[in-house]
């Protein structure tokens, strides 16, 4: 059931001016929707979307929710819609990732002492979710309800009249990846009979520390310590409360800094026990963010659209305490440099630099400077810009240093709330000093990564570095750093050294300049499942990476515009060879794999051919077939909002093929009209009868237009 709350926004009248485009009209908008009505948190929970139905606030630290399992690729968020068992309810998770992480502090209500198995079935028909709220009734007749503030999870349990009132509190629990011992050390203190505090240090995808305080709205009367496993470094307890037919409410406040920080977070955000008040406040906050776009569409389209928008705003996560302190990647405590006091993590940058971050610049521009400041501060402590951070620590997953195009994009769009000189210095440092997944001495010696000098991913790493190098050259050009512009422009063209004119693909080459002999462009490779020259993709899919920033160069390699179009035609029509979801081969159209990021910009490349309508038809097909308002309606990991961002952009009718130079390539709007609310600005996106894109009544240049439409 979708939560409903009456909410009416005032009429806004704002004049929008775009310089010389004086034919644009003044716009008026009336908002009378409760946007949370259209969000279904279960979308993407059945299959490989790897989303979760539990509550969170926009960009929040905590994400309480049900855990069906604590390991396995299907359970990276802890949840699968069709699973029939719930282990309990943990307090943190990530949305749509391909590796398990978080799952801190499992709590499970039960009704009988002496049991040894706490996982239980549940009544599926009672499981409901909306933004900021989740509920389910377990097989033991306990009704569970979850909500949260930004840093505090709030649980409410309604027990049956018969039976006892007990909780399992498991500090050893976590969402695990290739480990059978998650916690390295812990310290748990029962401060009194309604407060537990402590910390755990864990090693999984990253090594990190979390601190907590747990409070109950009534005192517990007994505590039992459960036997530990051989490798367990943290305890588990069962806690007994008096069964007086009252509801039991539990607060769990978290911090990266310390127990004192967790207590401050609790005091600042949740000093009362009014569960409904927190649910209502969460709904109000979500409506504030979801109302950034108002669309004219069917109810099903609105459900798909606003659910995607909801997933986009789940991360990055602010991991600073209410006083602005946070634990850095060097395990030291710092204070946020942002005026808001925020410090962000959960940067899945190999995924999100492509569309999610460009979309943030349009929808939540007030947050972009904080994102950049967080990246730069991380680099100052870690030695290079973030690659993929969780809880402030880099897991070094994926390749490239894709904070770089994100920073350049913000700089090119005129964001000024970060130190651009410092950011540029960190970009240079991150692409000159070798570090994990990057060997610049090797790269510059050969002009590519030789496959006999790396274990795998030689082609993908070369191509991904090209994206970063291009972004630096663009930044350098605009600050008149001519020598660096020349250097990085040259480096951005290293991709040409891997183009084999015989196979017409980017192909692995060894240190002697010899092509890899055993080459099949249909076979996908990935470091964990099938090591080879590509990252979760095959040669067909990675061929198009340089087109993000150098369409003309790629056209020239192929022999011109017509040859470029022919290559696209082959890409979308060549049948797949045993597509494997663990290798990123999902949602296939020929060799196009929409379920993974390297393909995301490719349909828009038809805009640079003589037949752009081919791309528009493919984009429409993807929107219609791979995004639906159902638990199985998202094919492929959502990857911290990147899949969702692609859909939002494509429904609006444009996409940031080049995610660093403040431009967008036109596609085909899939909705009649959308109104973007950006502070006191109102931007109307619509289409003419022939499908042409209009922004505030103006037709942008084709094939691409710049960001000034949204400033």
Beta strands in 171-309 (DSSP E): 183-192, 195-203, 207-216, 220-225, 236-241, 248-255, 293-296
The half-sphere exposure of 547 on its side-chain side, counting CA atoms within 13 A, is 30
CA pair distance 225, 13, nearest whole angstrom: 62
Residue from 275, 246, 237 nearest 146 by CA: 275
Residue 4 half-sphere exposure toward CB, CA atoms < 13 A = 2
pLDDT of residue 4: 34
Task: Give the list of residues 6+ apart from residue 173 with CB closer than 8 angstroms, or none.
Answer: 67, 70, 87, 88, 90, 103, 104, 105, 106, 182, 236
**φ, ψ (nearest 5 deg) of residue 417:** -90, 20
Taking a C-beta distance cutoff of 8 angstroms, is the pair 184, 233 a contact?
A: yes
- Give the H or E element holding residue 393: strand 393-394
Residue 97, CB half-sphere, CA atoms under 13 Å: how many? 29
> Quick one: pLDDT at residue 119?
98
Say how many C-beta atoms besides its own lie within 10 A of residue 89's C-beta.
Answer: 25
CA–CA dist 235, 173 (Å, integer): 10
DSSP type of residue 515: B
Question: What are 126's two structure tokens?
Answer: 């009672």
Q: DSSP character for 185?
A: E
DSSP secondary structure letter of residue 582? G
d(CA 394, CA 485) in angstroms, rounded, equals 29
Query: Which residues, in sequence order, are bridge partners of residue 587?
Result: none
Q: What is the Cα 507 distance to its own chain's centre?
A: 30
- The 3-state secondary structure of 321-376, one letter per residue: CCCCEEECCCCCEEECCCCCCCCEECEEHHHHCCCHHHHHHHHCHHHHHHHHHHHH
pLDDT at 179: 87
- Spatial strand order of the sheet with 293-296 comes to 293-296, 673-678, 681-687, 693-695
Three-state secondary-structure class, residue 614: helix
CATH of domain 60-289: 2.70.98.10
Find the distance separating the first CA and the last CA of the chain, reported in whole Å.
38
Contact criterion met (CB below 8 Å) for 452 and 510: yes
Instruction: Give me the pLDDT at residue 13, please.
Output: 29
C-beta atoms surrounding 632 within 10 Å? 16
Task: Give the Cα-Cα-Cα angle 403, 407, 412 (nearest 5 degrees).
Answer: 150
DSSP-based three-state secondary structure for 657: coil
Average pLDDT by stretches of 10, the chain with 711 residues? 33 30 34 80 98 98 98 97 98 97 98 95 98 98 98 98 95 93 95 98 97 98 95 97 93 98 98 97 97 97 98 98 98 95 98 98 97 98 98 96 98 97 98 95 98 96 98 98 98 98 98 96 94 97 98 98 98 94 95 98 98 98 98 97 98 98 97 91 91 94 96 89
Angle at CA of residue 574, ends 573 and 580, nearest 5°: 115
Contact criterion met (CB below 8 Å) for 650 and 626: no
Contact assessment for residue 534 and residue 544, using Cβ atoms and an 8 Å cutoff: no
The answer to whether 184 and 283 are in contact (CB under 8 A) is no
Q: What is the pLDDT of residue 96?
A: 97
Residue 285 token pair: 């906050």
DSSP 418: S
- C-alpha distances in angstroms, 694 versus 602, 618, 674, 688? 23, 20, 10, 7
């Amino acid at each position: 059931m979708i939560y409903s709350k009456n909410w009416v926004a005032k009429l806004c009248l704002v004049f929008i001016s775009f310089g010389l485009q004086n034919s644009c009209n003044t716009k008026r908008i009336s908002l009378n929707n409760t946007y949370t009505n259209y969000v279904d948190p279960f979308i993407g929970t059945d299959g490989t979307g790897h989303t979760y139905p539990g509550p969170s606030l926009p960009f929040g630290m905590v994400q309480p929710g049900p855990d069906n399992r604590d390991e396995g690729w299907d359970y990276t968020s802890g949840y699968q819609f069709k699973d029939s068992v719930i282990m309990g309810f943990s307090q943190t998770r990530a949305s749509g990732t391909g590796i398990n992480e978080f799952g801190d502090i499992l709590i499970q209500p039960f009704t009988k002492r002496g049991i040894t198995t706490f996982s239980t079935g549940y009544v599926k028909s009672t499981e409901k979710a909306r933004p900021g709220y989740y509920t389910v009734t377990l097989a033991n007749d306990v009704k569970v309800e979850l909500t949260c503030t930004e840093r505090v999870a709030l649980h409410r349990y309604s027990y049956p009249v018969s039976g006892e009132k007990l909780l399992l509190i498991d500090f050893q629990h976590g969402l695990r990846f290739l480990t059978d011992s998650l916690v390295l050390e812990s310290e748990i203190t029962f401060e009194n009979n309604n407060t537990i505090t402590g910390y755990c240090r864990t090693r999984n995808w990253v090594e990190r520390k979390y601190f907590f305080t747990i409070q109950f709205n009534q005192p517990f009367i007994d505590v039992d310590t459960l036997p530990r496993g051989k490798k367990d470094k943290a305890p588990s307890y069962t806690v007994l409360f008096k069964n007086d037919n009252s509801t039991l409410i539990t607060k769990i406040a978290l911090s990266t800094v310390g127990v004192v920080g967790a207590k401050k977070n609790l005091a600042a955000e949740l000093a009362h026990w009014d569960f409904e008040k927190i649910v209502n406040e969460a709904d109000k906050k979500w409506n504030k963010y979801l109302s950034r776009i108002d669309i004219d569409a069917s109810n099903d389209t609105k459900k798909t659209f606003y659910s995607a928008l909801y997933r986009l705003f789940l991360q990055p996560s602010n991991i600073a305490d209410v006083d602005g302190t946070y634990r850095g990647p060097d395990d030291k405590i710092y204070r946020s440099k942002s005026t808001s006091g925020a410090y962000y993590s959960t940067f899945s940058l190999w995924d999100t630099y492509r569309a999610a971050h460009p979309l943030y610049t349009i929808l939540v521009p007030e947050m972009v400077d904080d994102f950049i400041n967080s990246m730069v501060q991380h680099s100052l402590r870690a030695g290079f810009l973030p690659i993929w951070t969780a809880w402030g620590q880099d897991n070094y997953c994926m390749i490239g240093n894709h904070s770089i195009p994100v920073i350049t994009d913000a700089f090119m769009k005129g964001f000024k709330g970060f130190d651009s000189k410092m950011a540029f210095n960190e970009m240079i440092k991150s692409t000159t000093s070798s570090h994990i997944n990057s060997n610049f001495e090797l790269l510059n010696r050969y002009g590519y990564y030789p496959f006999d000098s790396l274990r795998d991913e030689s082609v993908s790493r070369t191509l991904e570095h090209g994206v970063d190098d291009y972004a630096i050259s663009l930044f350098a050009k605009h600050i008149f750093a001519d020598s660096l512009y020349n250097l990085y422009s040259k480096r951005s063209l290293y991709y040409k050294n891997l183009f084999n004119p015989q196979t017409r693909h980017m192909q692995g080459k060894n240190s002697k300049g010899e092509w890899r002999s055993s080459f099949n462009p249909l076979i996908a490779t990935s470091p964990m499942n099938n090591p080879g020259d590509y990252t979760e993709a095959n040669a067909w899919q990675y061929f198009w990476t340089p087109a993000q920033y150098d369409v003309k160069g790629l056209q020239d390699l192929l022999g011109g515009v017509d040859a470029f179009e022919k290559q696209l035609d082959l890409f979308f029509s060549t049948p797949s060879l045993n597509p494997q979801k663990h290798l990123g081969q999902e949602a296939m159209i020929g060799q196009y794999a929409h379920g993974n990021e390297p393909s995301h910009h490719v349909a828009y490349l038809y805009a640079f051919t003589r037949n752009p309508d081919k791309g528009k038809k493919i984009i429409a097909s993807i929107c219609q077939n791979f995004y639906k308002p159902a638990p199985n309606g998202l094919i492929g990991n959502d990857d911290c909002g990147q899949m969702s961002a692609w859909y939002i952009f494509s429904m609006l009718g444009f996409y940031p093929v080049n995610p660093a130079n403040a431009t967008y390539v036109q596609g085909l709007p899939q909705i009649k009209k959308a109104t973007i609310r950006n502070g006191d600005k109102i931007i109307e996106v619509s289409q003419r009868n022939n499908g042409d894109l209009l922004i505030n009544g103006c037709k942008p240049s084709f094939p691409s237009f710049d960001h000034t439409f949204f400033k």
